Amino acid sequence: IYLHSVLGLYPWTRPFAARLLTLILDPLQAMGLGLLKSLPGLIFVAVMVIVTRYVLKVTRLFFDSVESGTVTLARFDREWAMPSYRITRLLIIAFAVVVAYPYIPGSSSEAFKGISIFLGVVFSLGSTSVIANMMAGYTMIYRRAFKVGDRISIDTVTGDVTERRLMVTHLRTVKNEEIVVPNSTIINSNIVNYSTLAASRGLILHTTVGIGYETPWRQVEAMLLLAAERTPGLLREPAPFVLQKSLGDFAVNYELNAYCDDPHAMARLYTAMHRNILDVFNEHGVQIMTPAYEGDPEIPKVVPRDQWYLSPATPAQAPDDERSIP
């Protein structure tokens, strides 16, 4: 208004002053009329947002009840509740957007459509691996391959599951290393779960030794079973057993199998079992064959009992002391 008044004082700027006010007021008028015209659509969008919000709250309440066990569904695990809620939430929001889209001001303009197509192309090209990992994450949840706390092996990685996210899974190895594995890698790999049947049926720990043909197989099996009996942490029922894996060129390969119910103690139990095998075979003067066999030595390669604690070992470091083993 001030500029209009000043320009109107001079004859040569008076025509421009008359048009200046029109140039300013016409866009404001168009914006106001457009806002009034779009007001019903904006009210519809606002109502849709409110309805969608309350539907999401009711849906969340239902799945929280399923997760807590208040509501039970046949053949539906409680740990599926939150993943299922996220999928349902996404579908509800997508449905609400589709319904409200025609009522958004400017949604029918070519510019709005062009920007929507551009953003869709950018998202599809830039999120291929992200979508793959997300889909793999949901697939693993419903496959029930493992859960947090399980000890699993994926390819060459073995560890305890500490966290399971939508795109990655965190493992902690026995060396206290944290390994982050993409879910798309897990879904395409073989998964060994040591915890699934350990508590109910027991996990079988097994180790192989090669013994010469001159040693009776009955004696070998008895010594291996004795070693398993001396190992604390191994189950007595089901009882340990021995398999003869193969008749090699220079030795018979025996496999000792013993049950345990704690997969997290595998490293400790394996070490204790190996220690007891060495002790039992040394006690009975039976030699465990070396990998490269050329001939029988004049003196069997066993460690006499009186040499078990040669320096720097001390009797306090007994073979059954596994407290230092993780």
Question: For residue 325, is pLDDT > 70?
Answer: no
- At 230-277, the pLDDT tens digits run 999 999 999 999 999 999 888 889 999 999 999 999 999 999 999 999
CATH class of the region 203-307: alpha beta
Q: What is the pLDDT of residue 145?
A: 82
Beta-carbon contacts of 42 under 8 Å, excluding residues fewer than 6 positions away, are: 103, 105
Question: For residue 324, is pLDDT > 80?
Answer: no
Q: What is the pLDDT of residue 156?
A: 86
Percent over 90 (pLDDT), the chain = 37
**Distance in angstroms (rounded) separating the CA atoms of residues 279 and 304:** 9
- How wide is the angle at C-alpha 211 spanned by C-alphas 208 and 215, nearest 5°? 140
Question: For residue 75, is pLDDT > 80?
Answer: no
- At 272-300, the pLDDT tens digits run 999 999 999 999 888 887 665 566 667 77
In the chain, residues under CATH classification 3.30.70.100 are 203-307
In the chain, residues under CATH classification 2.30.30.60 are 145-193
Q: Which pTM value belongs to this model?
A: 0.64
Q: What is the pLDDT of residue 71?
A: 85
Specify the fold of 145-193.
SH3 type barrels. (2.30.30)
Q: What is the pLDDT of residue 136?
A: 78
- At 159-198, the pLDDT tens digits run 999 998 878 899 999 899 999 998 888 888 889 999 999 9
Question: For residue 317, is pLDDT > 60?
Answer: no
**Distance in angstroms (rounded) separating the CA atoms of residues 246 and 92:** 61
